Structure 1
Amino acid sequence: MKNKLYYGWIVVGVTFLTLLVAAGIRSTPGVLILPLEQEFGWELTDISLALSVNILFYGLAGPFMAAVIDRLGMRKTMVLSLTLLAAGTALTTLMTQTWHLLLLWGVLVGLGTGTMSNVLGAMVANRWFVQHRGMVVGILTASAATGQLLFLPLLAQIAMSAGWRQTAFTTSIAALVLIPLVWFLLRDRPRDVGLAPLGASEEEAAAALAPPVATGNLFLEPLKVLRVAVRSKPFWLLAGTFFFCGFSTNGLIGTHLIPACVEHGIPEVTAAGMLALMGLFDLVGTTASGWLSDRFDNRWLLFWYYGLRGLSLLFLPYALDSGYVPMLAFTIFYGLDWIATVPPTVRLTADLFGKEKVGMVYGWIACAHQLGAATAAYEAGLLHSLFESYAVPFLLSGGVCILAAAMALRIKRPVQATS
């Protein structure tokens, strides 16, 4: 029996695949910006606004979805979210006005992907694992970031050869295919299959086997958790650094790197390939970050991650003007650090606020991440319109990452790790 595969790893596998595909769907607008400009004559600022709304709703859904998951369970919540994703992306093919893009891709797809975010990964890791918890967070975080980047070359190729509507249909089908996999294989908690969390002590195992009791109002409970959390200085430091994390990753690079590359003579599919390569290196970097978060001071990990990311973004304008070799160097270096900040942030959140509340507290911290991403998605489009260049937003993001590195060292050291 000791050699039998722990069912939690099957849950991790299903969650990994779901996060991978959901993140790929969420990344689709990165390859739609140019086709939408060309077909409808829409301004970049209007498209950027819809994409920033998508990112904002993605973040706002996090803490409330943690409460919904506690009440309905992961399986039902994820199936509902996948259905919403499939409907939202399919209806996108019928849009003719910018407000259609705002409603469908901004609101519906934003909410649909909000459940399948890093909050879900944090909840899976804390419910199913004591041993290897940080590594599981790293693996699931990497899947979300890697999916956002890995599918871009395929989506870009479909958009170029068959049109952007076929790209939207492809993402809708991908969401529908996942529904039976989630329904038949995913389980909400170890107790559902008669198990305790992997590596749990006798006391932790007994607590995990007890039936969960849903308490509090579904929508008020996350607000109550927030009211307590905002009184804590570490919460503001974690949320602040995570705001800058989102500002410097999916809101900026995930949304605007392809148009920036095209401006510098790099073909769209090649630029999408660079993002995919970032995703592959992110899979290595973020998984390694999860392993490191189980063993080292997570504040110092955040210091190095933000500092190195800032340096890479300061280098990016030079790389864009210097050809493929510097861009390849940026792609590899930045990719290793793409979202390596998540495992240390989740670990610090659990250690400082308790793993029972980690879903909702981290959900609010992740909301700050998406608020930063939404700000960058719109800000970069606005600054590009003003300066006719992406150099200013790239340099600005590099600077705020240096600030985030300094902020990370101000976070209070947890008195005792949860494990």
Structure 2
Amino acid sequence: MHALRVPRPRIRRPRIQRPRIHRAWWVAAVVALVIVTEGWSTGVPNMLTEPVLAQLGWSRGVLGTAFAINMALYGLTAPFAAAAMDRFGIRPVALLALALVVAGALVTTTMSLPAQLILGWGLLVGLGTGALSLTFGAVVTERWFHARRGLVSGVLTSSSMFGGMVLMPLLAWVMHHHGWRAGVATVGGASLLLVLPVLLVVRDHPASVGTRPYGATGFVPPPARADGGLGRALVVLRRALATRAFWLLALTFGVCGASTNGVMMTHFVPAAGEVGMPTVVAAGLLAVMGVCNVVGAAASGWLTDRYGPVLLLVGYYGARAVSLVLLPSVLGPGAGTAAVGFAVAYGLLDLATVPPTIALCRTYFGPGNGPIVFGWVSAVHALGAASAAYLGSVGREVSGGYDAVWYVSGVACVGAAVLALGLRAGREPAPIAR
């Protein structure tokens, strides 16, 4: 007799499921590309001036008017864009903003009259890029992330400066070889290419695609559409003006704009040239700052997720003050170790103030109003930058050199550190109802 063979039971091996990338990270990646591209456009005026003057024979006043309108709208559009995203959704506002940039670039590329420059680059591009500035990243972070908010906001906000500094050589190459019209068309074309990924990936809220925000432990319903439309930005501002926290945040962030975009982006290259440093070398140091911006902002976001944002702001402004005071002693004919060290250090500090400032806006004014308040604080940042750019030129003419500009900027940063000490998260209730 043969022994009965008992079949062995089949053992099903459990399938190893690969971890899926959360939808929030795809949204953040597309938003970062958008902010990088629109930040790229901020360097265009510096390269448009001379070729446009040579070809079209316009006055510098015409160009200055168009560029001033662009810069003013870049800062003032942000709070209204945040309110519009609350009312109409993130994706529609982003698509409209990209369309404005494409239209503005098209008008500028084909222009033959000064009014076309003012309409194209001044009005249309100014509105479009303003809607896709720092506040855009803050709104997306607020909606799509419960964990890693500081890290994500740091990366997204640094994307603008990365585009403005690091990608400039590529745009300069296009303009040098193919003309200024091709350079402007490149910015418009890049914005047009971003319409499809925004359309496919970006959504107003995780609940729109049946998921939860990254780091949330349960389902989070989408917020109700805010009433009031664009007028809500003014209502939020009026009520925020009555709080001590808003003034401290606005003043410190105004100093941030003055000591970065205001003096560094405007006066660093001329100041380096006066001590014998070639323009290419000075621009290379700015590119180093741009790369370090991303690292510094991301690291600051990571720290903001773990430590108190107030103490971080005090440390950042204090360190920036020391760097500015030391700058005259490190500038020379070449990019020595000291100059490169300054570029690295200042780049790390440049946008490090943004994640703590966003976190404090949210703490004081709530998740619904925080992005709008940050939009108004960012407008003060732009005004501080514009004021410092102008006063820096005046200081250079009066003193005969740039040393006084760096010293005064350093003292202003000390003042910002002192003001930041007055921020005590949680001591002041948020007075603004959604």
Normalised to the residue count of structure 1, the TM-score between the two structures is 0.89
Q: Rg bigger for which structure?
A: 2
Matched letter for residue 137 of structure 1: S
Greater Cα shift, 319-328 or 276-285: 319-328
SS class of match (1:88): helix
The answer to whether the 8 A contact 2:151-2:299 is kept is: yes
Note the alpha carbon deviations across 1:179-227, whole angstroms, 9 max, x for none.
111111111110111012222244xx3xx324x4323221221111111
Deviation at 1:388, TM superposition (A): 5.8
Taking the aligned partners of 1:96 and 1:400, their CA distance within structure 2 comes to: 43
Which residue of the partner structure matches residue 396 of structure 1? Answer: 408
Would the alpha carbon gap of residues 29 and 383 (structure 1) be closer, same or farther in structure 2, given more than 3 Å must change? farther
Give the Å deviation of 1:40: 6.6
**How many positions carry a matched residue from both structures?**
413
Tell me by how many angstroms 1:355 deviates: 0.8
Counterpart of 2:102? Answer: 86
User: What pairs with 1:54-73 in structure 2 (closer than 5 Å)?
Assistant: 54-73=70-89
- In structure 2, relative to structure 1, the CA distance for the partners of 1:378 and 1:111 (3 Å cut) is farther
Q: Which residue of 1 aligns with 2:299?
A: 288
**Residues 1:125 and 1:355: Cα distance change in structure 2 (over 3 Å):** same
Letter paired with 2:377: I
- Match in the other structure for 2:215: 199
| Selected match of 2:163 from 147, 154, 157 | 147
The farther-off stretch of 357-366 and 318-327 is 318-327
Q: 2:263 aligns with which of 249, 252, 271?
A: 252
Asked if the contact 1:30/1:258 (under 8 Å) is kept, the reply is no
Equivalence map 1:177-256=2 (5 Å): 177-202=193-218, 205=219, 208-210=220-222, 212-256=223-267
Going from structure 1 to structure 2, the CA distance change for 1:374 and 1:108 (only over 3 Å counts) comes to: farther
Going from structure 1 to structure 2, the CA distance change for 1:29 and 1:228 (only over 3 Å counts) comes to: same
Q: CA–CA distance in 2 between the matches of 1:327 and 1:97?
A: 43
Q: How does 1:158-169 map to 2 (within 5 A)?
A: 158-169=174-185
Alignment RMSD? 2.8
**Structure 2: stretches of 5+ with no match in the other structure:** 1-16
Aligned to 2:320: 309
CA distance in 2, matches of 1:89, 1:262: 32
Match of 2:142 in 1: 126
> Structure 1 residue 269: deviation in Å?
3.9
Q: Is the 8 A contact 1:52 1:375 kept in 2?
A: no
Is the 8 Å Cα contact of residues 52 and 373 (structure 1) preserved in structure 2? Answer: no
After alignment, is 116-125 or 23-32 more displaced?
23-32
Counterpart of 1:332 (choices 344, 349, 369) is 344
Pick closer, same or farther for the CA change 1:407–1:48 going to 2, 3 Å.
farther
In 2, Cα distance between the equivalents of 1:344 and 1:277?
Answer: 23
Corresponding position of 1:277: 288
State the shift of 1:160 in Å: 3.4
Shift of 1:136: 1.0
Q: Say if 1:306 and 1:402, in contact at 8 Å, map to a contact too.
A: yes
Structure with larger RCO (C-alpha < 8 A, sep 6+): 1
- Quote the residue 1:413 is aligned against: 425
Q: Which position in structure 2 is the counterpart of 1:344?
A: 356
Q: CA deviation at 1:89?
A: 2.6
- What residue ranges of structure 1 are gaps of 5+ in the alignment? none
Moved more, 25-34 or 276-285: 25-34
